Structure 1
Protein backbone atom coordinates (compact mmCIF):
# COMPACT_ATOMS: atom_id res chain seq x y z
CA UNK A 1 0.00 0.00 0.00
CA UNK A 2 1.53 3.38 -0.96
CA UNK A 3 2.58 5.67 1.85
CA UNK A 4 0.08 8.46 2.28
CA UNK A 5 1.56 11.96 2.38
CA UNK A 6 -1.70 13.94 2.51
CA UNK A 7 -2.95 14.85 5.98
CA UNK A 8 -5.87 12.73 7.12
CA UNK A 9 -8.82 13.81 9.25
CA UNK A 10 -8.48 13.56 13.02
CA UNK A 11 -11.02 11.36 14.81
CA UNK A 12 -12.16 12.02 18.36
CA UNK A 13 -12.90 9.34 20.93
CA UNK A 14 -11.70 5.84 21.59
CA UNK A 15 -12.77 2.36 20.49
CA UNK A 16 -16.53 2.05 20.96
CA UNK A 17 -17.22 5.81 20.99
CA UNK A 18 -19.01 7.55 18.13
CA UNK A 19 -16.24 9.70 16.63
CA UNK A 20 -16.25 13.26 15.37
CA UNK A 21 -14.01 13.92 12.36
CA UNK A 22 -12.02 17.13 11.92
CA UNK A 23 -10.82 17.58 8.33
CA UNK A 24 -7.58 19.25 7.20
CA UNK A 25 -7.76 22.17 4.73
CA UNK A 26 -6.23 20.00 2.02
CA UNK A 27 -7.68 17.83 -0.73
CA UNK A 28 -8.39 14.18 -0.05
CA UNK A 29 -5.66 11.65 -0.92
CA UNK A 30 -6.08 10.14 -4.38
CA UNK A 31 -5.38 6.63 -3.12
CA UNK A 32 -6.62 4.50 -0.27
CA UNK A 33 -5.21 5.71 3.05
CA UNK A 34 -5.39 3.47 6.10
CA UNK A 35 -4.41 4.63 9.58
CA UNK A 36 -4.51 2.54 12.76
CA UNK A 37 -5.91 4.90 15.41
CA UNK A 38 -5.55 2.28 18.15
CA UNK A 39 -4.32 -1.27 17.68
CA UNK A 40 -6.27 -4.12 19.19
CA UNK A 41 -4.74 -7.33 20.48
CA UNK A 42 -7.23 -9.78 18.96
CA UNK A 43 -6.80 -12.14 16.06
CA UNK A 44 -6.00 -10.95 12.55
CA UNK A 45 -8.84 -10.43 10.09
CA UNK A 46 -8.38 -12.69 7.06
CA UNK A 47 -10.00 -12.50 3.62
CA UNK A 48 -13.13 -14.64 3.64
CA UNK A 49 -13.84 -14.06 7.35
CA UNK A 50 -17.12 -12.63 8.59
CA UNK A 51 -16.07 -9.39 10.26
CA UNK A 52 -18.12 -7.55 12.88
CA UNK A 53 -17.66 -3.78 13.08
CA UNK A 54 -19.04 -0.50 14.26
CA UNK A 55 -18.47 2.30 11.77
CA UNK A 56 -18.93 6.00 11.11
CA UNK A 57 -18.96 7.23 7.49
CA UNK A 58 -18.59 10.80 6.26
CA UNK A 59 -17.90 12.41 2.89
CA UNK A 60 -14.47 14.14 2.89
CA UNK A 61 -15.13 17.65 4.23
CA UNK A 62 -18.89 17.03 4.03
CA UNK A 63 -21.61 15.43 6.04
CA UNK A 64 -21.97 12.13 7.86
CA UNK A 65 -23.94 9.70 5.68
CA UNK A 66 -24.20 6.62 7.90
CA UNK A 67 -23.03 5.18 11.20
CA UNK A 68 -23.80 2.18 13.37
CA UNK A 69 -23.16 3.93 16.71
CA UNK A 70 -26.52 5.75 16.66
CA UNK A 71 -28.27 2.41 16.05
CA UNK A 72 -26.30 0.82 18.92
CA UNK A 73 -25.83 -2.21 16.74
CA UNK A 74 -22.71 -3.50 15.02
CA UNK A 75 -22.89 -5.07 11.56
CA UNK A 76 -21.31 -8.26 10.20
CA UNK A 77 -20.36 -9.10 6.62
CA UNK A 78 -17.85 -11.15 4.63
CA UNK A 79 -14.57 -9.24 4.16
CA UNK A 80 -12.00 -9.46 1.39
CA UNK A 81 -14.35 -11.17 -1.07
CA UNK A 82 -16.08 -8.27 -2.84
CA UNK A 83 -19.20 -8.14 -0.64
CA UNK A 84 -18.46 -4.53 0.41
CA UNK A 85 -16.70 -1.55 -1.18
CA UNK A 86 -13.10 -2.15 -2.24
CA UNK A 87 -11.64 0.26 0.30
CA UNK A 88 -13.05 -1.84 3.15
CA UNK A 89 -11.81 -5.10 1.61
CA UNK A 90 -8.31 -3.67 1.15
CA UNK A 91 -8.13 -1.65 4.36
CA UNK A 92 -9.55 -4.07 6.94
CA UNK A 93 -8.03 -7.43 5.92
CA UNK A 94 -4.87 -7.99 7.98
CA UNK A 95 -5.93 -5.74 10.87
CA UNK A 96 -6.43 -6.96 14.43
CA UNK A 97 -9.72 -7.36 16.28
CA UNK A 98 -10.05 -4.54 18.80
CA UNK A 99 -8.45 -2.00 16.46
CA UNK A 100 -9.91 1.41 15.61
CA UNK A 101 -9.17 2.25 11.99
CA UNK A 102 -9.42 5.40 9.88
CA UNK A 103 -9.97 4.77 6.16
CA UNK A 104 -9.91 7.44 3.45
CA UNK A 105 -11.44 5.79 0.40
CA UNK A 106 -11.24 7.38 -3.08
CA UNK A 107 -14.27 7.04 -5.38
CA UNK A 108 -12.82 4.14 -7.42
CA UNK A 109 -12.61 2.04 -4.21
CA UNK A 110 -15.93 3.35 -2.89
CA UNK A 111 -19.14 3.61 -4.88
CA UNK A 112 -17.52 4.64 -8.18
CA UNK A 113 -18.80 7.14 -10.73
CA UNK A 114 -22.45 6.48 -9.87
CA UNK A 115 -21.93 7.25 -6.19
CA UNK A 116 -24.84 6.37 -3.94
CA UNK A 117 -27.40 9.15 -4.41
CA UNK A 118 -29.81 7.80 -1.77
CA UNK A 119 -27.03 8.31 0.81
CA UNK A 120 -25.99 11.68 -0.61
CA UNK A 121 -22.70 10.29 -1.98
CA UNK A 122 -21.59 11.71 -5.32
CA UNK A 123 -19.44 9.97 -7.92
CA UNK A 124 -16.37 12.08 -7.08
CA UNK A 125 -16.69 11.91 -3.28
CA UNK A 126 -13.91 10.51 -1.14
CA UNK A 127 -15.35 8.61 1.82
CA UNK A 128 -13.86 8.63 5.30
CA UNK A 129 -14.72 5.87 7.76
CA UNK A 130 -13.79 5.24 11.35
CA UNK A 131 -14.17 1.50 11.87
CA UNK A 132 -13.99 -0.37 15.20
CA UNK A 133 -13.25 -4.04 14.53
CA UNK A 134 -15.38 -5.87 17.10
CA UNK A 135 -14.80 -9.46 15.99
CA UNK A 136 -13.98 -11.88 13.20
CA UNK A 137 -15.18 -15.40 12.44
CA UNK A 138 -13.69 -17.89 9.99
CA UNK A 139 -16.24 -19.07 7.46
Structure 2
Protein backbone atom coordinates (compact mmCIF):
# COMPACT_ATOMS: atom_id res chain seq x y z
CA UNK A 1 0.00 0.00 0.00
CA UNK A 2 1.05 3.66 -0.37
CA UNK A 3 3.23 5.20 2.31
CA UNK A 4 1.43 6.66 5.31
CA UNK A 5 2.99 9.68 7.04
CA UNK A 6 2.38 11.34 10.36
CA UNK A 7 0.87 14.32 8.53
CA UNK A 8 -1.51 12.00 6.63
CA UNK A 9 -2.74 10.55 9.88
CA UNK A 10 -3.06 13.92 11.65
CA UNK A 11 -5.10 15.30 8.76
CA UNK A 12 -7.29 12.17 8.88
CA UNK A 13 -6.48 11.24 5.29
CA UNK A 14 -6.01 7.69 6.55
CA UNK A 15 -7.78 5.74 9.29
CA UNK A 16 -6.26 3.98 12.28
CA UNK A 17 -6.68 0.66 10.54
CA UNK A 18 -4.96 1.88 7.36
CA UNK A 19 -2.07 3.33 9.36
CA UNK A 20 -1.60 0.12 11.32
CA UNK A 21 -1.80 -1.92 8.13
CA UNK A 22 0.98 0.24 6.66
CA UNK A 23 3.17 -0.29 9.72
CA UNK A 24 2.53 -4.04 9.73
CA UNK A 25 3.62 -4.24 6.09
CA UNK A 26 6.73 -2.08 6.47
CA UNK A 27 8.01 -2.27 10.06
CA UNK A 28 10.09 -4.99 11.67
CA UNK A 29 8.53 -7.56 13.96
CA UNK A 30 10.43 -6.17 16.94
CA UNK A 31 9.18 -2.64 16.28
CA UNK A 32 5.59 -3.83 16.05
CA UNK A 33 5.95 -5.80 19.27
CA UNK A 34 7.48 -2.81 21.06
CA UNK A 35 4.58 -0.63 19.87
CA UNK A 36 2.05 -3.38 20.70
CA UNK A 37 0.85 -3.45 17.10
CA UNK A 38 1.79 -7.03 16.30
CA UNK A 39 -1.11 -9.40 15.68
CA UNK A 40 -4.39 -9.54 13.84
CA UNK A 41 -5.08 -6.20 12.14
CA UNK A 42 -8.75 -5.93 13.03
CA UNK A 43 -8.19 -6.67 16.73
CA UNK A 44 -5.18 -4.36 16.98
CA UNK A 45 -7.04 -1.49 15.27
CA UNK A 46 -10.03 -1.90 17.59
CA UNK A 47 -7.87 -1.85 20.70
CA UNK A 48 -5.52 1.01 19.74
CA UNK A 49 -6.11 4.68 20.42
CA UNK A 50 -5.30 7.42 17.89
CA UNK A 51 -2.48 8.68 20.12
CA UNK A 52 -0.94 5.22 20.20
CA UNK A 53 -0.98 4.95 16.42
CA UNK A 54 0.34 8.50 16.03
CA UNK A 55 3.25 7.78 18.38
CA UNK A 56 4.02 4.59 16.44
CA UNK A 57 4.07 6.44 13.10
CA UNK A 58 6.29 9.15 14.60
CA UNK A 59 8.72 6.56 15.95
CA UNK A 60 8.72 4.71 12.62
CA UNK A 61 9.60 7.86 10.64
CA UNK A 62 12.45 8.79 13.00
CA UNK A 63 14.00 5.33 13.34
CA UNK A 64 15.55 3.79 10.20
CA UNK A 65 16.12 0.54 12.07
CA UNK A 66 12.36 0.16 12.40
CA UNK A 67 11.99 -0.31 8.68
CA UNK A 68 11.80 -3.87 7.43
CA UNK A 69 14.53 -4.78 4.99
CA UNK A 70 14.42 -7.39 2.24
CA UNK A 71 16.06 -9.86 4.56
CA UNK A 72 13.42 -9.42 7.28
CA UNK A 73 10.94 -12.20 6.54
CA UNK A 74 9.96 -12.65 10.18
CA UNK A 75 6.88 -10.47 9.94
CA UNK A 76 5.39 -12.27 6.97
CA UNK A 77 6.06 -15.64 8.56
CA UNK A 78 4.63 -14.57 11.92
CA UNK A 79 1.51 -13.13 10.34
CA UNK A 80 0.98 -16.34 8.38
CA UNK A 81 1.32 -18.31 11.60
CA UNK A 82 -1.24 -16.04 13.22
CA UNK A 83 -3.66 -16.63 10.34
CA UNK A 84 -3.09 -20.40 10.50
CA UNK A 85 -3.72 -20.37 14.25
CA UNK A 86 -6.95 -18.42 13.77
CA UNK A 87 -8.11 -20.95 11.15
CA UNK A 88 -7.38 -23.82 13.54
CA UNK A 89 -9.26 -22.04 16.34
CA UNK A 90 -12.26 -21.49 14.07
CA UNK A 91 -12.22 -25.15 13.02
CA UNK A 92 -11.99 -26.28 16.65
CA UNK A 93 -14.95 -24.08 17.61
CA UNK A 94 -16.95 -25.42 14.66
CA UNK A 95 -16.16 -29.01 15.67
CA UNK A 96 -17.17 -28.29 19.26
CA UNK A 97 -20.50 -26.84 18.13
CA UNK A 98 -21.19 -29.85 15.90
CA UNK A 99 -20.28 -32.24 18.71
CA UNK A 100 -22.57 -30.32 21.08
CA UNK A 101 -25.44 -30.63 18.58
CA UNK A 102 -24.86 -34.38 18.29
CA UNK A 103 -24.76 -34.75 22.08
CA UNK A 104 -27.97 -32.75 22.37
CA UNK A 105 -29.65 -34.97 19.79
CA UNK A 106 -28.66 -38.08 21.72
CA UNK A 107 -29.74 -36.51 25.01
CA UNK A 108 -33.12 -35.49 23.58
CA UNK A 109 -33.89 -38.97 22.29
CA UNK A 110 -36.41 -40.77 24.47
CA UNK A 111 -35.13 -43.94 26.12
CA UNK A 112 -37.31 -46.76 24.83
CA UNK A 113 -37.35 -49.00 27.89
CA UNK A 114 -37.81 -48.99 31.66
CA UNK A 115 -36.18 -51.43 34.05
CA UNK A 116 -37.22 -52.68 37.46
CA UNK A 117 -34.63 -54.73 39.33
CA UNK A 118 -36.02 -57.94 40.78
CA UNK A 119 -32.73 -59.32 42.08
CA UNK A 120 -29.44 -57.45 42.35
CA UNK A 121 -26.42 -58.80 40.49
CA UNK A 122 -23.81 -60.97 42.15
CA UNK A 123 -21.03 -58.70 40.88
CA UNK A 124 -20.59 -55.02 40.10
CA UNK A 125 -19.48 -55.80 36.55
CA UNK A 126 -21.55 -55.07 33.45
CA UNK A 127 -21.18 -56.50 29.94
CA UNK A 128 -19.42 -54.37 27.37
CA UNK A 129 -20.71 -53.73 23.88
CA UNK A 130 -19.80 -56.72 21.71
CA UNK A 131 -19.25 -59.15 24.57
CA UNK A 132 -21.10 -62.49 24.58
CA UNK A 133 -23.87 -62.72 27.19
CA UNK A 134 -26.02 -65.62 28.37
CA UNK A 135 -29.61 -64.69 29.13
CA UNK A 136 -32.64 -66.40 30.68
CA UNK A 137 -35.89 -64.71 29.76
CA UNK A 138 -39.66 -64.80 29.59
CA UNK A 139 -41.46 -62.36 27.31
CA UNK A 140 -45.10 -61.38 27.64
CA UNK A 141 -47.61 -58.89 26.31
CA UNK A 142 -49.25 -56.22 28.44
CA UNK A 143 -52.24 -58.52 29.05
CA UNK A 144 -49.93 -61.16 30.55
CA UNK A 145 -49.83 -63.49 27.54
CA UNK A 146 -46.44 -65.21 27.34
CA UNK A 147 -45.17 -65.25 23.75
CA UNK A 148 -41.66 -66.63 24.28
CA UNK A 149 -39.49 -68.09 27.04
CA UNK A 150 -36.43 -70.27 27.47
CA UNK A 151 -37.42 -70.85 31.09
CA UNK A 152 -41.08 -71.86 31.05
CA UNK A 153 -41.57 -73.54 27.69
CA UNK A 154 -39.13 -76.44 28.02
CA UNK A 155 -38.18 -79.19 30.42
CA UNK A 156 -35.52 -78.17 32.92
CA UNK A 157 -32.85 -80.47 31.49
CA UNK A 158 -33.47 -79.12 27.97
CA UNK A 159 -33.27 -75.46 28.93
CA UNK A 160 -30.47 -73.40 27.41
CA UNK A 161 -29.58 -69.78 27.99
CA UNK A 162 -29.76 -67.52 24.95
CA UNK A 163 -26.22 -66.48 23.98
CA UNK A 164 -25.35 -63.57 21.66
CA UNK A 165 -23.10 -60.54 21.30
CA UNK A 166 -24.84 -57.71 23.09
CA UNK A 167 -25.08 -54.21 21.63
CA UNK A 168 -24.52 -55.37 18.04
CA UNK A 169 -28.08 -55.38 16.70
CA UNK A 170 -28.65 -59.14 16.90
CA UNK A 171 -31.71 -58.60 19.11
CA UNK A 172 -34.30 -55.83 19.44
CA UNK A 173 -32.91 -52.49 20.52
CA UNK A 174 -34.65 -52.55 23.87
CA UNK A 175 -32.75 -55.72 24.76
CA UNK A 176 -29.42 -54.41 23.48
CA UNK A 177 -29.68 -51.19 25.45
CA UNK A 178 -31.19 -52.62 28.64
CA UNK A 179 -28.74 -55.51 29.01
CA UNK A 180 -25.81 -53.09 28.88
CA UNK A 181 -27.19 -51.48 32.06
CA UNK A 182 -27.42 -54.78 33.97
CA UNK A 183 -24.77 -56.34 36.17
CA UNK A 184 -23.90 -60.00 35.86
CA UNK A 185 -26.30 -62.07 37.95
CA UNK A 186 -28.97 -59.35 37.92
CA UNK A 187 -32.61 -60.23 37.30
CA UNK A 188 -34.93 -57.50 36.09
CA UNK A 189 -38.28 -56.73 34.53
CA UNK A 190 -37.77 -54.74 31.33
CA UNK A 191 -40.69 -52.97 29.66
CA UNK A 192 -39.90 -52.05 26.07
CA UNK A 193 -41.72 -49.45 23.97
CA UNK A 194 -42.91 -50.52 20.49
CA UNK A 195 -40.27 -48.41 18.69
CA UNK A 196 -37.52 -50.28 20.52
CA UNK A 197 -39.24 -53.66 20.04
CA UNK A 198 -40.95 -54.81 16.81
CA UNK A 199 -42.55 -51.46 15.95
CA UNK A 200 -45.35 -50.98 13.44
CA UNK A 201 -44.86 -54.39 11.80
CA UNK A 202 -44.96 -56.43 15.00
CA UNK A 203 -44.29 -60.16 14.71
CA UNK A 204 -47.66 -61.82 14.07
CA UNK A 205 -46.17 -65.32 13.80
CA UNK A 206 -45.02 -65.01 17.41
CA UNK A 207 -48.30 -63.46 18.59
CA UNK A 208 -46.89 -59.93 18.76
CA UNK A 209 -49.24 -57.39 17.19
CA UNK A 210 -48.13 -54.09 15.59
CA UNK A 211 -47.13 -51.34 18.05
CA UNK A 212 -47.04 -53.77 20.97
CA UNK A 213 -45.31 -52.93 24.26
CA UNK A 214 -43.34 -55.95 25.47
CA UNK A 215 -42.47 -56.98 29.02
CA UNK A 216 -39.52 -59.27 29.68
CA UNK A 217 -38.29 -60.89 32.84
CA UNK A 218 -34.57 -61.23 32.16
CA UNK A 219 -31.69 -62.74 34.11
CA UNK A 220 -28.08 -62.16 33.04
CA UNK A 221 -25.83 -65.12 33.81
CA UNK A 222 -22.47 -64.63 35.51
CA UNK A 223 -19.69 -65.76 33.12
CA UNK A 224 -17.62 -68.65 34.43
CA UNK A 225 -14.37 -66.70 33.98
CA UNK A 226 -15.55 -63.95 36.34
CA UNK A 227 -16.76 -65.96 39.30
CA UNK A 228 -18.56 -64.53 42.31
Q: Same fold (TM over 0.5)?
A: yes
Question: What residue number does 1:76 align with?
Answer: 163
Paired residue secondary structure (2:174): helix
Paired residue secondary structure (1:113): coil
Alignment of 1:1-139 (within 5 A): 31-42=112-123, 43-70=125-152, 71=154, 72-136=159-223
Q: Give the structure-1-normalised TM-score.
A: 0.72
1:94: Cα distance to partner?
Answer: 3.0
Higher helix fraction (1 or 2)? 2
Q: Give the structure-2-normalised TM-score.
A: 0.45
Cα distance change, pair 136–117 in 1 and its aligned pair in 2 (3 A): farther
How many aligned residue pairs are there? Answer: 110
> Which segments of 5 or more consecutive residues in structure 2 lack a partner in the other structure?
1-106
> Which segments of 5 or more consecutive residues in structure 1 lack a partner in the other structure?
3-29
Measured on the aligned residues, the alpha-carbon RMSD in Å equals 2.2
Give CA deviations for 1:64-92 in whole Å, capped at 9, x if unaligned: 00000133221101111111000001111
Question: What residue number does 1:24 align with?
Answer: none
Higher strand fraction (1 or 2)? 1
Matched-pair contact (CA < 8 Å) for 2:129–2:167? yes
Structure whose CA Rg is larger: 2
- Following the alignment from structure 2 to structure 1, what is the Cα–Cα distance between the partners of residues 223 and 198? 24
- Following the alignment from structure 1 to structure 2, what is the Cα–Cα distance between the partners of residues 98 and 109? 24
- Following the alignment from structure 2 to structure 1, what is the Cα–Cα distance between the partners of residues 182 and 144? 27
Where relative contact order (Cα < 8 A, 6+ residues apart) is larger, the structure is 1
Question: What residue number does 1:10 align with?
Answer: none
Query: Runs of 4+ in structure 1 displaced over 2 angstroms?
Result: none
